[in-house]
Chain A
């Protein structure tokens, strides 16, 4: 029963979604059922956030308690979680009127302040670091150790040159139509065809995988098989 019931549920839910795709949305019969299913998924997702909160607290608390390497970060994480969650969930009616704006998630609240001045800059910093990581990865990928790597190096150099205004101007000095040739043959030609090949393959793979799930052949996502 523990295996069969989820399989039946997966089959029915999947079939409803597939059939509703081919039925006119104005015909409310299946259209509404598919929408209902999506709403249920959102509700279940909302409840599961409690599971996430328990997990993040338990894992970090254990690491802090046993003083594992980097326990300071675990402590900061726990403090951060509650520092953001408590003011956001605190009912505004429980505070004096002068301090009511500090609770909740509106502009000027404690949550908003932490989000704007701590979470966002830290997130942006992480994103900015990506530039350095691209440089190191590109260095490794472009080392001309084989004929394929050399080809990649040459192609990438041409494309990078074409992507910046100064490079484009330089290419136009060599031959006026060179940037257009690069765009037509490298980007819209070779690059696009390879990408589409991967996309078609991935779409077919996803469709086969979905079919295996619908028919109950693929059970590995439940830990079975």
Chain B
């Protein structure tokens, strides 16, 4: 046990040390260059390159450990634990589950995260044979959503229950989308509303209507300006990174959970860097390290 602890600590210290070495070996001239230099590589972005490489290595190490079967502790996320409960409630009430994968195109990472969660939710609704409604704003999201939901029904062995109209294109305009979905909520009275992805001004319109019709509501977004609206109107809210962690969390697959641990370590490095940066700046120490914060 002591051996494991020491090895764990050494690995963490080594990774931290590597970052610091990487930080101090870059010259201030390289970091502070404001315009793209004429060379082949953009040396003004070298700090970002170092961060990307370091981050990738950390995630890969943890993924490898997860693959080897090492136990990884992941904190409880109530909002995600409530997903199955919400679908169960819908099944008992004989009402549908409404899922919205955000209002952005498929090239947005938040939408892809939403689509990933949709796959998990669709598998649960398929098992319980609960109707699922997925209104989307973009045809590309429609195509991806249809594929994911059909696959989920097939994997659950309920392909015969799959309805091609489960995922439906509603409107391209933001407010037209909100109006249509609000109408759906009022008429169909879904037992559970799940909002996962990028939302804008319509977030409160959707969440308040869902609240008014008595649905259990779970929301997740990485947009800080929309989080307060969801907190005020929904039962559970996933904030920022929790949205991206959702598919890994719901899958319970060690390989996916490994990435989350790597992310946590990176956060630790960032927190440590911020604290060191604050202390150095407060004492007026101008180093290569502090100049990273000016970029």
Q: Is B170 within 8 A of A51, CB to CB? A: no
Is A172 at the interface (CB under 8 A from chain B)? no
In the complex, which residues 234-276 of chain B have their Cβ closer than 8 Å to any Cβ of chain A? 239-245, 247-248, 251, 253, 255-256, 259-260, 262-263, 266-267, 270
Q: Is B109 within 8 A of A209, CB to CB? A: yes
Distance to closest chain B CB from A30 (angstroms): 10
Is A201 at the interface (CB under 8 A from chain B)? yes
Q: Is B169 within 8 A of A208, CB to CB? A: no
Query: How far does the alpha carbon of A221 sit from the alpha carbon of B106 in the complex, in Å?
Result: 10
Query: How far does the alpha carbon of A220 sit from the alpha carbon of B168 in the complex, in Å?
Result: 20
Is A223 at the interface (CB under 8 A from chain B)? yes
Q: Is A62 within 8 A of B222, CB to CB? A: no
Is B13 at the interface (CB under 8 A from chain A)? no
Q: Is A204 within 8 A of B266, CB to CB? A: yes
| Among listed A42-50, A101-109, A163-171, A177-185, interface-contacting one | A42-50
Contact pick for B116, options A126, A127, A218, CB 8 Å: A218
Is B105 at the interface (CB under 8 A from chain A)? yes
Contact pick for B201, options A50, A127, A208, CB 8 Å: A127
Q: Is B244 within 8 A of A206, CB to CB? A: yes
Chain B residues within an 8 Å CB radius of A175: none
Q: Is A134 within 8 A of B244, CB to CB? A: no
Is A96 at the interface (CB under 8 A from chain B)? no
Distance to closest chain B CB from A179 (angstroms): 22
Chain B residues within an 8 Å CB radius of A207: 52, 55, 263
Q: Give the tally of cross-chain contacts (CB within 8 A).
A: 203
Chain B CB count within 10 A is highest, among A48, A138, A224, for: A48
In the complex, which residues 11-40 of chain A have their Cβ closer than 8 Å to any Cβ of chain B? 18, 21-27
In the complex, which residues 51-69 of chain B have their Cβ closer than 8 Å to any Cβ of chain A? 52, 55-56, 59-60, 63
Chain A CB count within 10 A is highest, among B42, B168, B179, B232, for: B232
Is A95 at the interface (CB under 8 A from chain B)? no
Distance to closest chain A CB from B120 (angstroms): 7
| Among listed B18-26, B31-39, B80-88, B282-290, interface-contacting one | B31-39
Is A94 at the interface (CB under 8 A from chain B)? no
Q: Is B109 within 8 A of A198, CB to CB? A: no
Is A67 at the interface (CB under 8 A from chain B)? no
Q: Is A224 within 8 A of B255, CB to CB? A: no
Contact pick for B39, options A24, A124, A127, A209, CB 8 Å: A24
Is B89 at the interface (CB under 8 A from chain A)? no
Query: How far does the alpha carbon of A71 sit from the alpha carbon of B55 in the complex, in Å?
Result: 53
In the complex, which residues 137-171 of chain B have their Cβ closer than 8 Å to any Cβ of chain A? 138-140, 142-144, 147-152, 155, 165, 168-171
Closest to B40 in A: A27
Q: Is B239 within 8 A of A198, CB to CB? A: yes
Query: Given the interface contacts A44-B140, A52-B142, A123-B176, does A24 sit within 8 Å of B42 by beta carbon?
Result: yes
Distance to closest chain B CB from A131 (angstroms): 10
Is B173 at the interface (CB under 8 A from chain A)? yes
Query: Given the interface contacts A205-B241, A205-B243, does A48 sit within 8 Å of B139 by beta carbon?
Result: yes
Chain A residues within an 8 Å CB radius of B49: 22
Q: Is B241 within 8 A of A137, CB to CB? A: no
- Contact bitstring B175-187, A, C-beta under 8 A = 1, else 0: 1101110010001
Q: Is B183 within 8 A of A220, CB to CB? A: no
Distance to closest chain A CB from B35 (angstroms): 11
Query: How far does the alpha carbon of A204 sit from the alpha carbon of B263 in the complex, in Å?
Result: 6
Chain A residues within an 8 Å CB radius of B40: 23-24, 27
In the complex, which residues 180-225 of chain A have their Cβ closer than 8 Å to any Cβ of chain B? 195, 198-202, 204-213, 215, 217-218, 220-225
Is B5 at the interface (CB under 8 A from chain A)? no
Q: Is A220 within 8 A of B109, CB to CB? A: no
Q: Is A122 within 8 A of B142, CB to CB? A: no
Given A208-B244, A223-B147, 18 extra CB contacts under 8 A: A23-B40, A23-B41, A44-B140, A48-B139, A55-B168, A59-B165, A59-B168, A70-B183, A130-B205, A133-B208, A140-B232, A212-B256, A218-B247, A220-B117, A221-B116, A223-B148, A223-B155, A225-B256
B-binding residues in A (CB < 8 A): 18, 21-27, 41, 44-45, 48-53, 55-56, 58-59, 62, 69-70, 73, 77, 119, 122-124, 126-127, 129-130, 133-134, 136-138, 140-141, 195, 198-202, 204-213, 215, 217-218, 220-225
Sample 6 A-B pairs with CB under 8 A, ordered by A number: A22-B49, A24-B39, A52-B142, A56-B169, A198-B224, A225-B256
A-binding residues in B (CB < 8 A): 36-42, 45, 48-49, 52, 55-56, 59-60, 63, 105, 107, 109-110, 112-113, 115-117, 119-120, 138-140, 142-144, 147-152, 155, 165, 168-176, 178-180, 183, 187, 201, 204-205, 207-208, 222, 224, 227-229, 231-233, 239-245, 247-248, 251, 253, 255-256, 259-260, 262-263, 266-267, 270
